[in-house]
C-alpha cells in the first residue's frame, strides 16, 4: 500500500478540511508541517516543486501529487470511501455536493481571507471581507433553515457529505474575526451535529457548543 502524506499548516482551513476527511475515513497517513505564517514555506523551492502555485494543502499518495483542497477531498472520497458516503453516486446529490464545493472555494473565499487578516494581518478590505462572509453565511443559514423545516439535517441528501465537510470550517472559525454565531441559528444546530460524526477532530478557534 502506498503512503499518503499531507503537507499541512495547522491553522490553514484547507489543510483542516483534508485532516478532517482523513480522520473521518480512518486513513493512515503522515503529515509534514509547512510554516505558512510567518515562514511562507509554501512559496519556497521545496514546496514549489510539489505545487508551483505556492498554495496549501498538498497531498501525495505514492507518486500521485494533488493540490487544491476540493480536488484532494474528491480524490480521497473516490479512492477511500467504498460506502460512497462523502461523494454521493446519485447524480442529483453528486451535482449538489459539487455545487457546495464550488461555493466553498468561491463565496467563502472572503471568509477565509477575513480570518487570515484577523490572525496574521494579511492585506485586504476588512469591512468588505466581513460583509461578504456574512452574505455567504446567510445563504448557508437560509438553506439549512429550509432543510430543517423538512426534517433534513445535512446540506445534501440524508447524511453528511463533502458539502458539509467543506463548509464547516469557514463558519466554525468565523468567530476569530467577530462573527456572532447567534445570527445563524440553523448553522449553529448543524455545527453541533457535525461535531458528532465519528472521527471528528477540532482545531483552535472552533467552538464547542453545549
Please report whether residue 200 resides in a domain. Answer: no
Task: Give the mean model confidence (pLDDT) for residues 43-47.
Answer: 96
Are residues 107 and 32 both part of a single domain? no
Helical axes 13-24 vs 69-80, angle rounded to 10°: 10
CATH number, residue 72: 3.40.30.10
Q: Out of 102-111, 174-183, 201-210, which region has the weakest mean confidence (pLDDT)? A: 201-210
Q: If pLDDT is split at 50, 70 and 90, which confidence band does 98 have?
A: very high
Task: Give the mean model confidence (pLDDT) for residues 99-120.
Answer: 97
Are residues 96 and 47 both part of a single domain? no
User: What pTM, to 2 d.p., does this model score?
Assistant: 0.95
Are residues 96 and 161 both part of a single domain? yes
Task: Give the mean model confidence (pLDDT) for residues 17-32.
Answer: 98
* Residue after which a domain boundary falls, among 58, 80, 102: 80
Are residues 98 and 184 both part of a single domain? yes
pLDDT at residue number 210: 43
CATH number, residue 133: 1.20.1050.10
Return the closest-CA partner of residue 138 out of 166, 163, 103: 103
pLDDT digits (tens, 9 = 90+) for 163-203: 999 999 999 999 999 999 999 999 999 999 999 999 999 99
C-alpha cell at 36: 505558512
pLDDT at residue number 208: 79
pLDDT at residue number 148: 95
pLDDT digits (tens, 9 = 90+) for 143-160: 999 999 999 999 999 999
Burial class of residue 108 in the structure, from the number of CB atoms within 10 Å of its CB (0-12 exposed, 13-18 middle, 19+ buried): buried
Return the closest-CA partner of residue 171 out of 194, 199, 197: 194
Please report whether residue 205 resides in a domain. Answer: no
Task: Give the mean model confidence (pLDDT) for residues 51-67.
Answer: 97
Are residues 45 and 123 both part of a single domain? no
* Centroid of chain to Cα 115: 14
* Residue after which a domain boundary falls, among 40, 59, 80: 80
pLDDT at residue number 97: 98
Separation between Cα atoms, residue 174 and residue 206, nearest integer Å: 8
pLDDT at residue number 1: 62
The range of the structural domain enclosing residue 131 comes to: 91-194
pLDDT at residue number 2: 79
Average pLDDT of the chain to the nearest whole number: 96
Structural domain count of the chain: 2
Separation between Cα atoms, residue 52 and residue 48, nearest integer Å: 4
Are residues 131 and 185 both part of a single domain? yes
Amino acid at each position: 500500500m502506498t503512503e499518503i502524506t499531507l503537507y499541512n499548516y495547522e491553522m490553514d482551513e484547507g489543510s483542516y478540511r483534508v485532516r478532517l476527511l482523513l480522520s473521518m475515513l480512518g486513513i493512515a497517513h503522515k503529515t509534514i508541517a509547512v510554516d505558512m505564517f510567518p515562514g511562507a514555506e509554501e512559496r519556497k523551492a521545496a514546496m514549489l516543486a510539489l505545487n508551483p502555485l505556492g498554495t496549501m494543502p498538498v497531498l501525495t499518495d505514492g507518486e500521485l501529487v494533488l493540490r487544491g483542497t476540493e480536488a484532494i477531498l474528491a480524490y480521497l472520497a473516490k479512492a477511500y470511501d467504498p460506502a460512497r458516503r462523502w461523494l454521493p453516486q446519485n447524480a442529483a446529490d453528486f451535482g449538489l455536493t459539487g455545487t457546495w464545493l464550488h461555493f466553498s472555494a468561491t463565496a467563502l473565499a472572503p471568509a477565509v481571507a477575513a480570518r487570515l487578516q484577523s490572525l496574521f494581518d494579511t492585506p485586504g478590505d476588512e469591512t468588505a471581507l466581513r460583509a461578504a462572509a456574512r452574505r455567504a453565511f446567510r445563504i448557508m443559514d437560509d438553506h439549512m433553515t429550509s432543510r430543517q423545516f423538512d426534517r433534513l439535517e445535512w446540506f445534501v441528501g440524508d447524511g453528511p457529505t463533502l458539502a458539509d465537510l467543506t463548509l464547516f470550517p469557514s463558519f466554525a472559525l468565523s468567530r476569530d474575526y467577530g462573527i456572532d454565531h447567534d445570527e445563524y441559528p440553523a448553522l449553529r444546530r448543524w455545527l453541533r451535529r457535525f461535531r458528532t460524526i465519528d472521527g471528528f477532530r477540532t482545531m483552535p478557534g472552533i467552538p464547542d457548543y453545549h
